[in-house]
A and B are shown apart, each in its own frame.
Chain A
Amino acid sequence: MAQRAVWLISHEPGTPLCGVVKFSRRYPTVEKRAKVFNGASYVPVPEDGPFLKALLFELRLLDDEKDFLESRDSCSHINKTSIYGLRVGSEELWPVVAFLKNGMIYACVPLVEQTLSPRPPLISISGISQGFELLFGVQDFLSSGQKTDSELNTKLSQLSDLLLQTCPFGTLLDANLHNSLDSINFASVTHLQKQPAWRTGTYKGKPQVSISITEKVNSMQYDKQEIADTWQVVGVVTCKCDLEGSMPNVTISLSLPTNGSPLQDILVHPCVTSLDSAILTSSSIDAMDDSAFSGPYKFPLTPPLESFNLCYYTSQVPVPPILGFYQVKEEEVQLKITVNLKLHESVKNSFEFCEAHIPFYNRGPITHVEYKASFGQLEVFREKSLLVWIIGQKFPKSMEISLSGTVTFGAKNHEKQSFDQICIGGTAYLKLHFRILDYTLTGCYVDQHSVQVFASGKPKISTHRKLISSDYYIWNSKAPAPVTYGSLLLNLSLQDNF
């Protein structure tokens, strides 16, 4: 369950080593156990320098991709998880949990409490999930509110102290490092018996509860006979409960209107004390039917002090909010494009913003554009080979808008134009970016009166909702486009129905 060592490495391509160890922490008592448990298969944790080199090589983050290297490029060298074996000297250090996020590599080596040859399956090693949780905790701590390099450095300098609290001997006590930061600051708070370990300290002040629902909608639209369009809503409910008492009880209910789309695939925060089995079993894996559970979704819980994600869900709404088609025809040096977008009548026609981004990959810069838009205006980013169609706050009464035009490109410049591995040949997409406030696509909402709080004082309850687009693609219907298995199957079942 313990970790032998933890590293944070910033990935810096272009520098000689391609990376710098920003933080590392070793756990010698765990290492001592590793030596006993692993026996003859024990491989010691290397020093930072060799570790950095081996890790970057394994993650393919060194700059030397030019030649075929068997130890890296061999077809049988397959990694299907973020857990690696690193070649250090003549030995292999395994398992190393590592992933890259926003230019930072998070890595740790979990203790395996048995021999390493033959390698035990990852699922049997308790330290793997603990290692992931530690790394995600650190990542969460570093990325929260961090904007500048100096802020990052401040946080990095706090890390050593924080780990002394939350992971003093390599066994993680709490993945939420913010908790520990708070407990350093409020060390004098007396600890009562029935207080959860994840709720350190108590709140003093006006009681208030804030709940916000954010839905993201993604979509893949093809405008093709043989491929079905797909779309999905992913929701997250975020809460902040400022309540007095060591263990206040709260019940939050999510409700749907009569025509709302049932919530599925619900994952809850561990502070939720019990779950209705209907919530547990409603899943997108099953074929939908009318008997699907449609709420209210009740979550009894003891909230932590800080803001937390009460639950995540997905939902399959009957229609995508914006339906579109996109056609690109290549005519000698220029491309002829046609776009058509239609807002569904059930959707709230009041956007914070709405834009269609039309990128052109693997081509030169845009030299000339001629266009006709039925609505909104077009911005041209020549060097980026990008058109942005700004639609604005509202669709017109007809709910339907269109854009057509021709785009001419200059010579391709390999250094400036980015390479894209999907948009090869005629394959192209446009991506919609929009946001609608005080609205959810599923209809999901929190009724203020349904929030039950068992704590002293009547809290002020505020609720928020918004819908955001995310990965909302409309593919060129005149060329092949990447599909998922689902869009092929869905189409089949549709054909069966008609």
Chain B
Amino acid sequence: MGPFSRETWAQRLGTFRASPSAFMAGPEGEDLGRDLLSDLRSEKLSEPMKVALLALSLEYPAQLWPDAPAAEAAATSLLDTLVLLPPRPSALRRPLLLAATTALVAGGALSPASGASGRLLPLLLGLASGRDLGRSFGPASEQRPLQATAWECLRELESCRPGLLGGCLGLLRALLGREGPAQPLSLLLALALRNALVIQARAGAGLQGLLTAGDSSMEGGPWNWTLAEEGEVHLQPQAPSWPAAEEGECGLAALELSPEEARELRATVAQLLDSSYLLTPVAQAQLLWLLGWALRGLRGQPPVLFKPQLVRLLGTAQLTLLHAMLALKAAFGEALFTAQDEALLLRRLTLAAQHPALPLPIHLFYLHCLLNFPENWPLGPTDEEAAPLLLGSQLCRGLLPSLLNEPMALLARLHLLCLLCVEDEEKEEKGQDRSPRHYLEELLAGLRQRAALDDGPRALATLCFQASYLVAHCLAGQPVVLTPLTQGLAQLYRTRPALAPHFVDLLDQVGPELQEPLRVALRQEVVSRPGREEALRWHLQMLARVADGDAQSATLSFLRAAATHCKDWGLQQALLRVCRALLRAGVGGGLADLLQALARQLEDPDGQDHARLYYILLAHLAGPKLGVALGPSLAAPALASSLVAENQGFAAALMVQEAPAPVRLSVGPRRAEGPVPVLRLQVEVLEPVYSLELRFRVEGQVYAPLGAVHMPCLCPGRPTRPLLLPLQPRRPAPAKLTVRALYTTPSGLTCHTHLPPLLVTFADLFLPFPRPPEGAQLDFFEELWGSCLPKGTESRLWCPLGPGGLEALVSHHLESFVVVAQPPVSYLVAIRLPPDSRLLLRLEAAQADGVPVALRTDDWAVLPLAGDYLRGLSADG
């Protein structure tokens, strides 16, 4: 297709941006990447339009060129376009460099084998280091922006492929001292240095003169991928300098630097820090993070190098700089910050968290930093928010919440106040009435007052409950706080019952310390009402959550009074939900009367049915089962309709459920004894079950039907005795047993499951003959031998022997059935096969590699089974 017009492209770009996935799924999706590349060279399109096309490729390369070959081709095409640009000024050179870099990285095409990579890397390094690339590469006026762009491309490549510029460290270092912009060079050098240190530490190598290689290191020859190849495997989640995030993971300690390397490294870092003032604040912060990462844990590299910068940085209001200082603090602790330094940093942080000149999001972030402050000697666990030791209530004074704060600020500051109250409790006040705790109470009262406003926005109510939750969470162990909180909330409910959903939510979320008293207070609050007000809906919703076995008569009389006012379906359902809650709680007598009355009284047939159902359940089910039947539905998704959910709940509780197997059965080693063959089943318990019943069915009816096996209780980890399963064969043949299990779960559900079938082998049926008197064995055997014919049959076969010879074979498999033994060469074996068959074996004149076996049986059908069995023995060894 020919080049598109400007309008077509504008439209295409618009549609694409509105929803890239929809566009790519459409008819034009497939061609977009190709069209874009070809139209970049079209002479009909204006430069701004081409810039727009390139901007798109900078954001969506994965959509345009989804795989590595496509990305490689795209990068090649972009580089070609760049080279073909006429030598006049053009706005396309910078975005083309960015686009080629992006395409290679995003498409995963950056590699030593990639031709485009081989072209791009030297081009970027040449541009960046200011080497003359010939007049063909743009006019002089464009050199500086191109140089800056090249530095950024290199930095991004190094970020995505650590070690890529490891070979250039010497060059970068040499350039740093010369003319040229300090910022991009400093940042790239710091990044490449950090990556090289990490990679070399993992490889257990030193810096190997990388820093001192000078600027001739990369000239001419092919790109040095050594370090990048090693680094590639290591672009893994790497924990930054935060100690808590990195327990024992710091690999740099393994790095062995020679004294000269250490000196060079120190000199480089010092040089970078000295010129850091010339960088923009955000870039200074990046430099500090990188160098902090690079030096942390490195032996022989004292962090004092950072010290000269700290005072200057401490004075600024810059978020990034203060944040980077905190990172250094976390990385080096006392080695860089003395106790006094720590105190000063903390004070600066405290004042920044409330400085009127800074915006709210910054205040909030600083407050977060305060509560996660990396202390030199933390007292508590480091992964919990806590007020640092040095941050006394005097310092925090300005950080305490007030009703005038924005909601987020109020919550953040409230958290701090709670932490102070925790500390305060320890050094209980000296009769002051303005302790933090009293202030907290007043604040909560103010929040409740605002939440109580009838026309107030929901956000105000939410804020009040969030604050209550936070306080209950932080001060769970302090009844002096929780008691007034409970009373205040009960009063809030009295004033504005429409907040019932918030109360239910609060009850669901808080711990028992507040939950229990609040539940009781709210129940009291509801049942003391006449039960006929506008707010009945809310009262019923509330009661469904807070009703329990206590205060039955008050609750029931409230419900009786309410029932007469429940005219519409919604209210009736709400009423029935309370009944249901009471059923679950095990409320008996009075409730039955109420339910019967409701079944008559409610106008809605659905309501009547439900009342009747509850009544029947109450009358027929035992307490625990009732609890489960009415409990939250296990049959998963919460549907909007309470009825459906409820029915699912019943179905789950009252019917037998299919479930995955709670036990695993296997056939254990058998003992040939007794009148019938007995399978010894090993039971492995996977989850606790009660009243387990195992049912077996014999396929093909080879054996008589098997009785079920019962076990009252099984628990994982507790040893179980083997299950004995007597078999009554109708024919002496192997068979498959299908197994089903029926059991009750700890939560009271009845479940059913199919277990994998069990196989009964031919040998499982073997029984010995009664032992003949001493001395008569041979006669006994010969008599059996003779009796097999003519009804039965005789056969001979060769049974190969393993290294243990005949003796081992017999002792492994036939020990119990030997009648006459002349080890190691001759055994006479007699096997009884229920119901009434026999199998006789003569193993005589054994040789080194085998033994001839003569066998007789009185049952023709046994012969093939016996043959398979004997051949199987030799295969087993």
Contacts and interface: CB of A to CB of B under 8 A. Distances in A.
A172 interface: yes
Nearest to A115: B237
Given A32-B106, A280-B315, A47 B21 contact: yes
B702 interface: no
B459 A65 contact: yes
A110 to B, nearest CB: 12
A7 to B, nearest CB: 12
Contacts of A312: 317, 355, 357
Contacts, number: 349
Contacts of B347: 281, 283, 285
A129 B311 contact: no
A353 B436 CA distance: 41
A370 interface: no
B283 A126 contact: no
Given A65-B459, A198-B280, A283-B351, A270 B237 contact: no
B55 interface: yes
Contact of B509 (A75, A80, A270, A419): A75
Nearest to A33: B160
A162 to B, nearest CB: 12
A275 B316 CA distance: 10
Contact of A75 (B55, B152, B361, B469): B469
A266 B238 CA distance: 37
A125 B330 CA distance: 12
A224 to B, nearest CB: 14
Contacts of A79: 408, 411
B361 A81 contact: yes
A124 B245 contact: yes
Contacts of B183: 173, 197
Contact of B357 (A124, A236, A275, A283): A236
Contacts of A120: 242, 245
A175 B323 contact: no
A275 B311 contact: yes
Given A130-B286, A267-B355, A47 B367 contact: no
B655 interface: no
Interface string B319-350: 11111101100100000000000001001101
A205 to B, nearest CB: 23
A32 B105 contact: yes
Nearest to B316: A270
B759 interface: no
B19 A49 contact: yes
Nearest to B499: A68
Contacts of B671: none
Given A2-B159, A192-B179, A164 B449 contact: no
Nearest to A486: B397
A234 B324 CA distance: 27
Interface stretch (A11-19, A22-30, A385-393, A431-439): A22-30
Interface string B159-197: 110000000000000000011111110000000000000
Contacts of B326: 123
Interface stretch (A36-44, A86-94, A324-332): A36-44
A168 B105 contact: no
B398 interface: yes
Contacts of A154: none
A447 interface: no
B404 A272 contact: no
Q: Which of A29, A125, A190 has the most CB of B within 10 A?
A: A29
A234 B459 contact: no
Given A68-B501, A78-B469, A82-B364, A482 B237 contact: no
Interface bin, chain A: 35 or more
Given A132-B362, A285-B350, A312-B355, A269 B316 contact: yes
A234 B356 contact: yes
B144 A187 contact: yes
A82 B413 CA distance: 14
Contacts of B744: none
Contacts of A171: 155-156, 159, 286
Interface in A265-283: 265-270, 272-275, 277, 279-281, 283
A272 B394 contact: no
A33 B311 CA distance: 34
B240 interface: yes
B466 A196 contact: no
Nearest to B108: A32
A424 interface: yes
Given A81-B367, A267-B358, A272-B312, 17 more contacts: A48-B18, A75-B506, A78-B466, A83-B365, A101-B359, A113-B240, A115-B237, A120-B245, A187-B142, A190-B144, A194-B278, A275-B312, A312-B317, A312-B357, A421-B453, A485-B436, A489-B397
15 contacts: A49-B19, A122-B365, A124-B240, A128-B365, A130-B282, A169-B156, A172-B282, A175-B281, A198-B279, A267-B352, A268-B316, A285-B350, A424-B449, A482-B402, A484-B400
Interface of A: 1-2, 25-29, 31-33, 36-39, 47-49, 60, 65-66, 68, 70, 72-83, 97, 99, 101, 113-115, 120-126, 128-130, 132-134, 136, 160, 164, 168-169, 171-176, 179, 183, 187-198, 216, 218, 232, 234, 236, 265-270, 272-275, 277, 279-281, 283-285, 312, 314, 414, 419, 421-422, 424, 482-486, 488-489, 492
Interface of B: 17-21, 55, 58-62, 94-95, 98, 101-102, 105-106, 108, 141-142, 144-145, 149, 152-153, 155-156, 159-160, 178-184, 235-242, 244-245, 277-286, 289, 311-312, 314-324, 326-327, 330, 344, 347-348, 350-352, 355-362, 364-365, 367-369, 372, 374, 383, 394-395, 397-398, 400, 402-404, 408, 411-412, 415, 432, 434, 436, 439, 446, 449-450, 453, 455-462, 465-466, 468-470, 501-502, 505-506, 509-510
